[in-house]
Structure 1
């Protein structure tokens, strides 16, 4: 994180917040227009907006790897997609706190939203300290895996029991562990090793929970995908104007942030478990929201890489010669061409600063 400049941090967080605001404003305005603006409806809009403001760096990494892109716009997109999930997780906890069920702590259930958020932070810090204490001595890998799985299950279970965000509590715990554990890289290596099996289990669970309580699920998923795309474009465009980067960027940079993935899935799953059984007009809306987000993620993953490719091509960061070499299967020439290539945006996409621009060029071989 320290390797990235402050303007990249502001861009990443800002575009996610603006995307959330855009989605929320459009959703609430639509409900108001149709006379359906109630507490439950507003909650659904907020939850959907929180899942929509996150992106997946995997799609951007795949495109940049396929076309050997290592340029500033790509780095900007990749960093934003890697960071904006934190914004979504924080927003999700704030929504949980504002719409907290009164029966979560029995007679103590009627607590202010700020207290619930502080409680979530406290649980995360406490669980992080417990993990650090458990691993205070050098443990073997098997013990470390057991401790990680145990504390993760305990933390998520405690959060769900109190109707807090398991993601937020777990992220807080992770921050404590990263700063206090003697060897954080060792923990990271274990997490990386178990990441894919955990994702498989999560995807199986997500697939099993997908349902269609109403026929409106598919059109709502399409609407969710379109609005999310508009929100990401609007958020990124606004932040480019506010935080002017030191390099030219394409007009619709936010199209490169369309890929969506695991964070949104887990956020939707968390909302389903937290508000399970919430009904509106006889329809289980928690189930409906989960299915809408799942289908939206699938659609985003289908079109996202193509839009990211188009964005980087518009930015002049994908060399046509590299593409030709890759199409011919000549990886060696493609890598050599990528090393020589100097990206430059076409004239039509350059900022209006009075300077012209040329097509992408190659540096001298000397």
Structure 2
């Protein structure tokens, strides 16, 4: 099957499946994954998984855009408004989740690298599901405000945790583990990725100031995201961290940033559809069924980590009682960023990447169904939901890119 045929089938089937599932109030990302599942070797084998590997640059480009958009939400003025308590809560719940999942999975597998990476991925939370429920039910109050702030920062924290974990994992798998290598090498990779990201952001800003047309600005941004991904990959740095730092740079120094990010979001849906559909094609149901205990352990330990980590973070940050009691249940949804990180593991650590990817994507399907329901329940119990909105049946569907 030629590449153009693969792209057309993946794009159209991904979109149509998502629209079909939207009627049942399921998120679009679930539709893309299921479309890939049916197209791939697990069910109909219309598109062999090897073909998606040959065009993996699309997935890498999509990840770069996702990271760039995450960085774009990190404005210093916004962070200052949130206050220290929100930052403390976000850091502790993310780190707490990663640590608990790492300990549980390592206890079962005795595989340090595998546990380290899946623990880092577990800290990611998908903001779109939470935002969907809050907007639909017109929720207002301290729990709602805290949820909105934490999900806005959570993916950025996750990317830092993942970058550190990946760098350490590379040192361990290279069989050169010592104290110097364990700390210096990851630190050098992370700092170099940040510096490269700042340079790419500066490059975007320098060129874009001299452009008069919106289309030119869009081409410059997409081109430099590709440049950042390519250079980072060539230098064995983190493309995700590089693109995220570029996004942070633009968000804080470009006066027309909102207009620019809207332009980027306008052209990226086809790339996202292909990315998630390819991820579904790579999902091996037979492997997932054999890893039932490990998959269940991941879901339970991540759920426990979010709840315990959020509670401890709420205590330390002196959050309101309603936040301490419920916020962990509102941070369970997981989607695009987690899948993207799992795809990176498949590329960087092929010896167990397939196994990890199946666990993460299986968990995503579950979390994307139960997550919005739990969010609605806690907002109702916290008495922050509009009393006139009794059912989730009228929820408007939106694209779950994160």
Shift, 1:53, TM fit: 0.8
In structure 2, C-alpha distance between the alignment counterparts of 1:288 and 1:174, rounded to whole Å: 31
Q: Which residue of 1 aligns with 2:51?
A: none
Q: Greater shift after overlay, 81-90 or 308-317? A: 308-317
Q: Which residue of 2 aligns with 1:177?
A: 250
- The TM-score normalised by the length of structure 1 is 0.76
**2:265 aligns to what SS in structure 1?**
helix
In structure 1, C-alpha distance between the alignment counterparts of 2:90 and 2:241, rounded to whole Å: 18
Shift, 1:16, TM fit: 1.0
In structure 1, C-alpha distance between the alignment counterparts of 2:392 and 2:273, rounded to whole Å: 32
Matched, 1:85 2:151: no
Q: Which residue of 1 aligns with 2:4?
A: none
The superposition leaves residues 197-238 of structure 1 with CA deviations (integer Å, 9 ceiling, x where unpaired) of 332122122122223573434443332222111110011111
Gap change, CA 1:177 and 1:249, over 3 Å in 2: closer
What 5-or-longer segments of structure 2 have no aligned partner?
1-77, 175-180, 395-402
Gap change, CA 1:328 and 1:7, over 3 Å in 2: closer
Q: Which residue of 2 aligns with 1:20?
A: 98
Q: Which residue of 2 aligns with 1:29?
A: 107
Shift, 1:100, TM fit: 2.7
Q: Which residue of 1 aligns with 2:384?
A: 317
The superposition leaves residues 247-305 of structure 1 with CA deviations (integer Å, 9 ceiling, x where unpaired) of 63362430111111211111112222222x32xxxxxx111111211111111001111
What 5-or-longer segments of structure 1 have no aligned partner?
32-36, 104-109, 279-284, 330-366
In structure 2, C-alpha distance between the alignment counterparts of 1:43 and 1:19, rounded to whole Å: 17
In structure 2, C-alpha distance between the alignment counterparts of 1:187 and 1:152, rounded to whole Å: 13
Greater helix fraction, Structure 1 or Structure 2: 2
| Alignment of structure 1 residues 257-268 onto 2, 5 Å | 257-268=331-342
In structure 2, C-alpha distance between the alignment counterparts of 1:254 and 1:182, rounded to whole Å: 35
The superposition leaves residues 78-101 of structure 1 with CA deviations (integer Å, 9 ceiling, x where unpaired) of 221121111110011112221336
Gap change, CA 1:318 and 1:184, over 3 Å in 2: closer
The superposition leaves residues 292-343 of structure 1 with CA deviations (integer Å, 9 ceiling, x where unpaired) of 1111111100111111112112212225x4135x6998xxxxxxxxxxxxxx
Matched, 1:296 2:363: yes
Gap change, CA 1:8 and 1:315, over 3 Å in 2: same
Q: Which residue of 2 aligns with 1:162?
A: 235
Q: Greater shift after overlay, 112-121 or 176-185? A: 176-185
Gap change, CA 1:302 and 1:143, over 3 Å in 2: same
The answer to whether the 8 A contact 1:131-1:147 is kept is yes
Matched, 1:53 2:123: yes
Shift, 1:177, TM fit: 2.1
| Alignment of structure 1 residues 67-78 onto 2, 5 Å | 67-78=137-148
The answer to whether the 8 A contact 1:212-1:288 is kept is no
The answer to whether the 8 A contact 2:103-2:115 is kept is no
The answer to whether the 8 A contact 2:189-2:238 is kept is no
The superposition leaves residues 171-220 of structure 1 with CA deviations (integer Å, 9 ceiling, x where unpaired) of 11111222333532232221232343332122122122223573434443
Gap change, CA 1:292 and 1:203, over 3 Å in 2: same
Q: Which residue of 1 aligns with 2:204?
A: 131
**2:323 aligns to what SS in structure 1?**
coil
Structure whose alpha-carbon radius of gyration is higher: 1
Gap change, CA 1:43 and 1:162, over 3 Å in 2: farther
Shift, 1:114, TM fit: 1.8
Q: 2:354 aligns with which of 284, 287, 291?
A: 287
Q: 2:346 aligns with which of 272, 275, 279?
A: 272
Root-mean-square deviation (CA), in Å? 2.5
